[in-house]
Structure 1
Amino acid sequence: MGIQLESQNLFASIDMGTNSFKLLIIRFEPATAKFTTVHKHSVAVVLGRNSSSSSTPLISPDSQFRAIEALTKFQEILGSHTVTQIRVVGTSAIREARNQSVFINEVKEKLGFDIQVKVLSGVEEARLIYFGVLQFLHIYDKKVLTVDIGGGSTEFVIGDNGDVVYADSLKSGHLTLTEKFGENDLVGLRSYVRELIEVSGLIGKVKELGFEVAVGSSGTIRAIEKAIWCGYGCHDGKREGLREKRSRNWWWFSRDELRGLVERLCGVGISETEKARRDGFFGRRSEFIVAGAVLLEEIMELLGISEMEVSGYALGEGVVAEMVSEAFPGIDLNANVRWKSVMRLAMRFNGNDRMENGVQCSAIAKVIFEGLRKCNKVFGNQFAVDICLDEKDLEYLEAACMLHNIGLYLGKKGYHKQSYNILMEHNQLDGYTGDENELIAQLVRHHRKKFPKFEWHLQGFSKEKSGIICSILRISVIIQQHKLLKLREIEVNNSSEGLVLALVKKRNQPMLSDPEKSLVKDIETEIGKEVDLFEVVFHQKLLVVCHMDC
């Protein structure tokens, strides 16, 4: 039986923002309501640069050129993932541009886009941001004030049980404020922001409606939260250890912590060393981070926000969530609290590359898991009843795949043990029992090095079943780590000698080069070490075959 590694139900959004263009590809599984990021790509187009200096903003030819380049790259990525369900949205810079229609027509002509580019109003943008936030944080049943700082505008939305109660947009963001005030006119910046918020009527409306939780989204607020998490704003330069963070939400900061960060960023007589440190930490956001941090500090002060939770998802995820709701009417996007917590924990410690590694590992593991389960039926259920694999087992396996590499955040040496410690010492997986959390932690701990003896006593988890899941995880990690093969299919078959796991190259790829053939041999050798362990736990021989050509 051949099983494709590429999953169905892929959805993509392209957010043409004022500062960055962002491509997002999501896999949604309707049976389990799992909402998983497959790929993210961001390009600093800076579409709104210099546009705010005119009363009639224009998208410049240089900005148009950068936009076309970014979208061309996005097309290549979408083609490689075979995504057909795509939605493209434009925000502040396009919304305000006098040459909006010229720009959109240029995009369609140069790229052959047959997809409609939807230019969002500020209120529509705020609504979709709230929808995206709900896919990350477990706050559906709370009254939530969401703040999203973009390059050219800042969105505010109050939502309650999935419905938007109030939405508004201010025509100022980190890019436009930086262009207007630079980094040195902090007095002018603060005065301008305060006046803008006060005359907008936002303060009175927020006080009238009230909120239980304040949430920040977007790259600027995430960068601020990361800086606070890493101790960037601490004057002694010490980074708070994970043990000290044990009692707090890991996607959160207080107004006092933000104030400390702003003082560090805006201190008098900042040295060249400190500027270099800031550039190194914030990367391309360094140019705009002062304006973004001051803007957020004023918002929190004026709206009475003492602490703010932070969402790793925003507009792009909201656009995809709306697409999913349209594709699967009646689906409850907020049903899978457990998977959301797995994704939050993985994103806390992993950047985009390691997140993609986890997603790929999870996809490989699922293919092997389902293939073995089907072979079990073909064999006539030869295996003992207590080791029959079910959906819960697949959930534990996929969670372990997503979390196996989080320990790399603390260093490569012994990272599997660090991954285990993070899971065991910090209660961050919502909806899982203590035994379930420990099972996932043990799987993560033993995805490499020594195979576990599974001598613990966890209610409902047999030694045999745990061994099978661990064996699948170890094999999946090995396959994922050898990326040069660019595998697209895995076949799991039964034969007279036992089970056959065949790794098959993408059919339209050329024959393997000599270095790739050498890599195939390395994979066969490395997986070969796992075959004996698999036979012990699964009571069947496993033959691993890497096809050399298509």
Structure 2
Amino acid sequence: MTNENLAAIDIGTNSFHLIIVKILEDGNFEIIDREKEVIRLGEGNTGDIKEIKESAIQRAIETLKKFKEISDSHNAEIKAVATSAVREALNKDEFRREIKEKTNIDIEVISGTEEARLIYLGILKSVPIFNKYSLCIDIGGGSTELIVGKEGIIQFSNSHKIGAVRLTQKFFPDYELSKERINDCKEWVKGEIFSSIKQIKNYPIEVVVGSSGTINSLGFLVYSKNSNTDQGYTILNNFEISSADLKSISKDILKKKSYEDRKKIKGLDSKRADIIPAGAIILQTIVDELNIEKITLSDYALREGIVIDELQKKGFLNKFPDLRDIRMNSIMQLAKSSKYDLDHCLHVSNLAEQIFEQTYHIHKLDEENKEYLNAASILHDIGYHISHSQHHKHGQYIIQNSELLGFNENEIKIIGNISRYHRKSHPKLRHKEFSSLNSQSREKVEKLSAILRIADSLDRTHQKLVEKISIDNNDKEIIFNLYCNGKYPEVEIWNLERRQKLFEEIFDLKVRIKCS
């Protein structure tokens, strides 16, 4: 690439999205800017999108001028892709020509099959589904994509002309709801997806992922209702919504018969109050037809897929990582963004892993918990650049307000709490962030933070004096046999003796140290 930055523009039926990414040395990318504008390209049509109206074209031009200016400010190469509305419009060539003349942006119109491929690429980068049979549902303004994939290969995909904007115009043109209109819409959706549902049932689906604005909006409504808040939730990626929660939210939406009433729904963007009923009907119908129990949300979709596709073409990305790689890339990206002794933290992570692997019979935690410990170990000093004395608390805040791809909200909270308790106070129920976890998660935090305290103590001087640990134990004590690189770790042992109490309390074992 001639530029080190890339801008991806998703020209959708409902809205236009821009993301700008910085290409990193390892071939991955970091999102450095975002923008979104509701355009409604398909306005004025009733179901089928036959023509893009002049008013919509002018809105598109003004928005794309802004997107071009933002992209140029980042010296970013632009890749613009158009989907359902432009794909179907009889005047799509005129639309593309006018956009090129007024903005100097070339638009590529992609097929429904290509749209599904790019969506799957994006989802694979944000949700840990690579090794699983996955059903991906993406509800846009003009179409809904149903995708079945495993290990980066699409097994089945279909693009259906049932988007939130399209069905709003067809069944709720004045934005008013009635029982008859709702039933007609449901039956229409059932008919449109019938053949796909039949084929999808032939696959052993292990996880269902939802992406794009409609599904993420419904997910946020679920979160708002369950947490009794409409603000402060930023980590939607990997958030799970149950079929029961979805049904409850859908009922709440469809009870609000008027557009004005729906604008008052807590947690709903007022710009979606007109099209959210159709979107809810589409998703609820798919869930009902396939007996889906839960949906995992993805922040990434088409526009991120565009980025990944371009990077693959340029030779930057050669393969898709499995779950652990997605998580590790995200952790390391956050770690490298802050100034602290990362080499020390990586060594602590290695020591913590040695302890974890030799104490399965004591802590009784599975491999996934080792990843939480690894993440917390690498990030445990990330708060240093804010405050030395309170870095454990600042670190927790940074972790819990960062986008750690591959981890869901609860997992990020667990990691943040483990990091917070690597020093100073033991976990206590009076601590808000700790008490917000359920009992199982609190137990994980207690056990893993106890291990992290031991590991961190054993590199107190940041000199990596302790290279290896072997562990023996009986019913009353645990013995840490330390293998050193030549110099006696006097400070490390002194520090461990000061900080071993949490481990002793949690596991009911007296800690002893031997040094070779």
User: Fold-level match, TM-score > 0.5?
Assistant: yes
Query: 1:109 corresponds to which residue?
Result: 101
> How far apart, CA to CA, are the structure 2 residues paired with 1:402 and 1:294?
44
How many positions carry a matched residue from both structures? 393
Query: 2:294 corresponds to which residue?
Result: 307
Which amino acid in the other structure matches residue 223 of structure 2?
W
> How far apart, CA to CA, are the structure 1 residues paired with 2:37 and 2:256?
32
C-alpha change, 1:110 and 1:400, in structure 2 (3 Å) is farther
Work out whether 1:322 is the aligned partner of 2:309. Answer: yes
Alignment equivalent of 2:92, drawn from 87, 100, 105: 100
Which amino acid in the other structure matches residue 43 of structure 1?
E
Work out whether 1:173 is the aligned partner of 2:163. Answer: yes
Work out whether 1:333 is the aligned partner of 2:320. Answer: yes
Which amino acid in the other structure matches residue 27 of structure 1?
K
Query: 2:219 corresponds to which residue?
Result: 225
1:151-188 CA deviation, whole Å, 9 max, x = no partner? 01111111111001111011121111112222413433
Once the two structures are TM-superposed, the CA of residue 221 in structure 1 deviates from its matched residue by 0.4
Once the two structures are TM-superposed, the CA of residue 463 in structure 1 deviates from its matched residue by 3.8
1:320-355 CA deviation, whole Å, 9 max, x = no partner? 111111122663332574654886x9xxxxxxxxxx
C-alpha change, 1:126 and 1:271, in structure 2 (3 Å) is closer
Maintained 8 Å contact 2:167/2:278: yes
Alignment equivalent of 2:72, drawn from 76, 79, 83: 79
1:176-223 CA deviation, whole Å, 9 max, x = no partner? 111222241343344334344335411211112341111110011011
1:380-438 CA deviation, whole Å, 9 max, x = no partner? xxxxxx96999989x9899689999xxxxxxxxx9948728959x98615998997786
Query: 2:372 corresponds to which residue?
Result: none
C-alpha change, 1:277 and 1:426, in structure 2 (3 Å) is closer
Work out whether 1:251 is the aligned partner of 2:243. Answer: no
Please state whether the residue corresponding to 2:141 is helix, strand or coil: coil
Q: Equivalent pairs: percent with the same residue? A: 28
Query: 2:19 corresponds to which residue?
Result: 24
* Unpaired stretches in structure 1, ≥5 consecutive residues: 1-7, 243-247, 346-357, 374-385, 405-413, 446-454, 467-550
Please state whether the residue corresponding to 2:291 is helix, strand or coil: coil
Query: 1:521 corresponds to which residue?
Result: none
Work out whether 1:428 is the aligned partner of 2:411. Answer: yes
1:270-327 CA deviation, whole Å, 9 max, x = no partner? 796x544227632312221111112110111012212111111110011111111112
C-alpha change, 1:281 and 1:201, in structure 2 (3 Å) is closer
Once the two structures are TM-superposed, the CA of residue 123 in structure 1 deviates from its matched residue by 1.2
Maintained 8 Å contact 1:148/1:221: yes
C-alpha change, 1:67 and 1:276, in structure 2 (3 Å) is closer
Once the two structures are TM-superposed, the CA of residue 460 in structure 1 deviates from its matched residue by 7.5
Maintained 8 Å contact 2:50/2:89: yes
Summarize the alignment of residues 258-277 of structure 1 with structure 2, pairs less than 5 Å apart: 258-267=246-255, 275-277=262-264
TM-score, normalization by structure 1: 0.61
C-alpha change, 1:95 and 1:331, in structure 2 (3 Å) is same
Which amino acid in the other structure matches residue 170 of structure 1?
H
> How far apart, CA to CA, are the structure 2 residues paired with 1:43 and 1:241?
21
Work out whether 1:147 is the aligned partner of 2:134. Answer: no
> How far apart, CA to CA, are the structure 1 residues paired with 2:325 and 2:272?
32
Query: 1:118 corresponds to which residue?
Result: 108
Q: CA RMSD in A?
A: 4.5
> How far apart, CA to CA, are the structure 2 residues paired with 1:81 and 1:128?
24
Alignment equivalent of 1:207, drawn from 201, 206, 210: 201
Query: 1:137 corresponds to which residue?
Result: 127
Maintained 8 Å contact 1:34/1:339: no
Which amino acid in the other structure matches residue 37 of structure 1?
I
Please state whether the residue corresponding to 1:176 is helix, strand or coil: helix
Alignment equivalent of 1:298, drawn from 285, 301, 307: 285
Alignment equivalent of 1:36, drawn from 12, 16, 30: 30
> How far apart, CA to CA, are the structure 2 residues paired with 1:268 and 1:110?
41
C-alpha change, 1:438 and 1:458, in structure 2 (3 Å) is farther
Maintained 8 Å contact 1:25/1:39: yes
C-alpha change, 1:227 and 1:192, in structure 2 (3 Å) is closer
Please state whether the residue corresponding to 2:201 is helix, strand or coil: helix
Which amino acid in the other structure matches residue 18 of structure 1?
T
> How far apart, CA to CA, are the structure 2 residues paired with 1:76 and 1:420?
31
Maintained 8 Å contact 2:263/2:270: no
Maintained 8 Å contact 2:148/2:157: yes
> How far apart, CA to CA, are the structure 1 residues paired with 2:160 and 2:79?
25
Summarize the alignment of residues 503-522 of structure 1 with structure 2, pairs less than 5 Å apart: none
C-alpha change, 1:250 and 1:461, in structure 2 (3 Å) is farther
Please state whether the residue corresponding to 2:299 is helix, strand or coil: coil
Maintained 8 Å contact 1:130/1:314: yes
Query: 1:547 corresponds to which residue?
Result: none
> How far apart, CA to CA, are the structure 2 residues paired with 1:441 and 1:335?
35
C-alpha change, 1:185 and 1:400, in structure 2 (3 Å) is farther
Please state whether the residue corresponding to 1:166 is helix, strand or coil: strand
Maintained 8 Å contact 1:147/1:155: yes
Which amino acid in the other structure matches residue 261 of structure 1?
I
TM-score, normalization by structure 2: 0.65
> How far apart, CA to CA, are the structure 2 residues paired with 1:391 and 1:63?
56
C-alpha change, 1:391 and 1:19, in structure 2 (3 Å) is farther
Query: 1:49 corresponds to which residue?
Result: 43
Please state whether the residue corresponding to 1:157 is helix, strand or coil: strand
Please state whether the residue corresponding to 2:46 is helix, strand or coil: helix
Once the two structures are TM-superposed, the CA of residue 94 in structure 1 deviates from its matched residue by 0.1
Please state whether the residue corresponding to 1:229 is helix, strand or coil: helix
> How far apart, CA to CA, are the structure 1 residues paired with 2:399 and 2:10?
37
> How far apart, CA to CA, are the structure 2 residues paired with 1:12 and 1:391?
38
> How far apart, CA to CA, are the structure 2 residues paired with 1:176 and 1:71?
23
> How far apart, CA to CA, are the structure 1 residues paired with 2:31 and 2:23?
9
1:206-254 CA deviation, whole Å, 9 max, x = no partner? 11234111111001101111110121xx6xx946999xxxxx9961111
Query: 2:7 corresponds to which residue?
Result: 12
> How far apart, CA to CA, are the structure 1 residues paired with 2:417 and 2:457?
12
Query: 1:526 corresponds to which residue?
Result: none
Once the two structures are TM-superposed, the CA of residue 144 in structure 1 deviates from its matched residue by 0.6
Query: 1:184 corresponds to which residue?
Result: 177
| Higher RCO structure, 1 or 2 (CA under 8 Å, sep 6+) | 1
> How far apart, CA to CA, are the structure 2 residues paired with 1:440 and 1:219?
41
